[in-house]
Amino acid sequence: MKLILEDNDTFYLHSLKNLLESNGIPALINGTHSVRVVTPFLINQQSLWVYFDNQLEEAIKLIDNPEYEVKNKVDIAEFNKQKKTLNPNKALVHFVLTLCGVIAGLYIIIMVLQWF
């Protein structure tokens, strides 16, 4: 995956994502998941990514010129079907990893306190 841009305007990012996907470039908006309520210390700026590295240049050209004709298109419906079967829920994975980190940290603190 390659980063296209970072922006805090969710509406703008979604409009760009829709533009890309309607022209055969699968895209992802990162940084908008509700997991940030649970882990606010992990907050960073929202960003727009393309899934396939070889589509980055065309994605930038399309954003600069919405009339640009993408040459290396992907069937978005087929891509989304494949993606659903391969990717777990990212928010859940993030939550579980954060929870494991908190538990490991508490365990270390308890072990250190037992020495005193």
| pLDDT for the residue numbered 59 | 96
What pLDDT shows up at residue 89? 67
Per-residue confidence at 86, pLDDT binned at 50, 70, 90? low
pLDDT computed for residue 63 by the predictor: 96
**Rg of the chain over all Cα atoms, to the nearest angstrom:** 19
Taking the CA of residue 29 as centre, how many other CA atoms within 13 Å lie in the half-sphere pointing to its CB? 18
Whether the model pTM is above 0.85: no
DSSP annotation string for 74-116: --HHHHHHHHHHH---HHHHHHHHHHHHHHHHHHHHHHHHHT-
Cβ 41 vs Cβ 59: under 8 Å:
no
Q: Where are the domains of the chain?
A: 2-86
Cα separation, 14 vs 5, in Å, equals: 12
Question: Mind listing the pLDDT tens digit for each residue in 33-71?
Answer: 544 444 455 556 899 999 999 999 999 999 999 999 999
